[in-house]
Amino acid sequence: MSRLLHCLYSLLPAGLMFLLLMLSGAEAIKPALAADAGLPRDLPTTNPALTVELIQPQLRELPLVLQANGSVAAWQEAVIGAEVGGLRLAEIRGQVGDQVRKGQVLAVFDREPVEVDVAQGQAALAEAEANLQESRVNAERVRQVIDEGALSAQQVGQYLTMEKTAAARMRMAKAQLDQQLLRLRHTQVVAIDDGVISSRSAVLGAVANAGQELFRLVRQNRLEWRAEVTADELPRLKPGMPATVEVPDIGQVKGKIRMVGPTLDAQTRNALVYVDLANAVVAGFKPGMFAHGEFQHGLQSALTVPQSVLSLREGFSYVFRLAGPVEEGMGRVTQIKVTIGRSVGDRVEILSGVTVTDRLVAGGSAFLSDGDLVRVVQ
């Protein structure tokens, strides 16, 4: 039969012979043709779907990460208000967003009414000092003639009392003058610390009341992240633990836990964790921004594979595992559903589905199907 077929097909053109072979589907013809071409009879007749490399999962130490969300806020805010009342605001020098230094003048009140009060206080003090000087001279004279009996005890007591009264009035006049000088100094509103002005309620020409807020200052231009964590997660976090905080479309900064909140919110049952952010202002962070972050609290051994090994299909992750031995450089692969965990760089943790001894397709999983024949290369 084989010789008859060989003679028949030798009389036909090569193209027509190949077409008849494909249409006939006769498996008995293929070995005869392979023998005629000088090829080995046991070579697989199915072409491999892909040429692949194989790798094995590896055990690696991955950081334990706790994820949380929260808001960026000022570390501390300082309220700068009017320390004198009844004065007109004559000048405003500080604006929202200004970087200021401690002691820098931010606003100035009208000084004229206070300067008048200072002048009156100075005059009252001068008068009190003159009265005290006169009373001291009279009291000194009385002390010199007490033993001579020239004055009665009542007169002596009056002169000595006048001296003490004059001294008290002088001290009161000096205190009143100091008060007016203090009011004069407080006509200049100054920054109480380094920082950036976050709000301004001062209005030019307005008459402010004592204690009225004029500016609000972010102290030392320092920001923090207030992360919300659950009661189960709270025991894993300690002061000094590193954190990475990211604001979408803005950037990412490093930080450290400054304090773990001592109480939980009665409504949400969440606690706040306060994270100091270094260079957050330089990175573009602003108070009130929503941020996502991660806390690293140790290392744990995990089974990992490169990201290229995974194939995402219908919302699930799969890998392709070599189903048997490699023969003639070829083998079949099986699609395996896996559960993934943490990701660090290019490595992904595999929680279930494969073991450390499995041989997996290193790349190109998106082009494979379950049971495909592949060519394996080193």
The answer to whether residues 86 and 170 belong to one domain is yes
46 pLDDT tier (thresholds 50, 70, 90): low
Give the model's pLDDT for residue 151.
Answer: 77
Q: What is the pLDDT of residues 316-329, one digit of tens each?
A: 999 999 988 888 88
Q: Is residue 231 part of a domain?
A: yes
> Within this chain, do residues 133 and 109 fall inside the same structural domain, yes or no?
yes
What pLDDT is recorded for position 17?
A: 45
Strands 50-55 and 373-377: parallel
> Both 71 and 82 in a single domain?
no
Backbone angles phi, psi at 56, to 5 degrees: -120, 145
CA distance 368 to 333: 9
Q: Looking at the structure, do residues 83 and 180 belong to the same domain, yes or no?
A: yes
Task: Give Cα 63 to chain centroid, integer Å.
Answer: 19
CATH code of the domain in which 257 resides: 2.40.30.170
C-alpha distances (whole Å) from 246 to each of 3, 183, 242, 274, 282 are: 76, 47, 14, 15, 14
Question: Residue 177, Cβ neighbours under 10 Å: how many?
Answer: 21
163 and 188 belong to one structural domain: yes
The answer to pTM > 0.85 is: no
Clarify whether residues 236 and 272 are in a common domain: yes
Number of other residues whose CB lies within 10 A of the CB of residue 212 = 14
Same domain, 241 and 143: no
Last residue of a domain, one of 168, 200, 232: 200
DSSP secondary structure, 346-374, as one string: TEEEEEES--TT--EE-S-GGG--TT-EE
Residue 260 lies in a domain: yes
Let me know if residue 215 belongs to a domain: no
Residue 156 pLDDT: 80
- Total domains present in the chain: 4
Quote the CA–CA distance of 43 and 224 in Å, as a whole number. Answer: 68
pLDDT of res. 36: 44
Judge whether 278 lies within some domain: yes
Q: Where is 45: in which H helix or E strand?
A: none
85 and 194 inside one domain: yes
CA 333 to chain centre: 45
Q: Domain range spanning residue 362?
A: 50-60+301-377
Q: What is the CATH number of the domain that holds 126?
A: 1.10.287.470
299, 334, 351: which is the final residue of a domain? 299
Same domain, 291 and 307: no
